[in-house]
Amino acid sequence: MLELVKTDADGKPHAPTAFVFGNAVGERIGSVKTAWRAACARAGITDLRFHDLRHEAASRFVEGAWPLHHVQEMLGHSNLKQTSTYVNAKQVDLVESMRKYDQSRPACKRLANLPASDPRPVCNDSTPSDANPQLH
């Protein structure tokens, strides 16, 4: 998207001082909200707020394996609770994260790749007795 705004309507490169959310020739505009609404209207996009980009960025950072405290810092949040409201975890990502976690644990490596129907408890070498259940 940023590549598209490097030039003006005539195809001439904008000066390095041009505003990304400026007018057609890169000049400062009065309101980012106005520029955002105009850009969305020109692109035929409805029901997308500028603020929605923060949610999208946070989710993409987490998908890219950024630590949450880095996402927090990038978004300028004072605490992780605030950051967590911006992150949209998908079920497929949660499953993949758990798979990677299981494979990283030495005690579970042998069992991590077994089919889900395997009756053995994860990380136990034997089936626990009813009298003394082993929990992991």
Identify whether the C-beta of residue 136 lies closer than 8 Å to the C-beta of residue 124. yes
Q: How many residues does the chain have?
A: 136
Task: Tell me whether residue 93 is in a domain.
Answer: yes
Residue 93: domain span:
51-115
Q: Indicate if the pLDDT at residue 131 is higher than 60.
A: no
Average pLDDT along the chain: 77
Please calculate the CA angle 115-120-126 and round it to the nearest 5 degrees: 145
Same domain, residue pair 70 and 19: no
Compute the average pLDDT of residues 77-88: 86
CA dist 28 and 21 (Å) reads 8
* pLDDT at residue 5, as a whole number: 75
Same domain, residue pair 66 and 109: yes
Q: Which residues pair with 13 in a beta bridge?
A: 7
Q: Indicate if the pLDDT at residue 86 is higher than 90.
A: no
* pLDDT at residue 45, as a whole number: 94
- A 10 A CB-CB count for 102 gives 15
Compute the average pLDDT of residues 37-64: 89
Q: Indicate if the pLDDT at residue 60 is higher than 60.
A: yes
Q: Which two tokens stand for residue 122?
A: 């994860």
Which of these, 111, 107, 131, lies nearest to 121 by C-alpha position? Answer: 111
Q: Indicate if the pLDDT at residue 111 is higher than 90.
A: no
Task: Tell me whether residue 136 is in a domain.
Answer: no
Q: How many distinct structural domains can be found in the chain?
A: 2
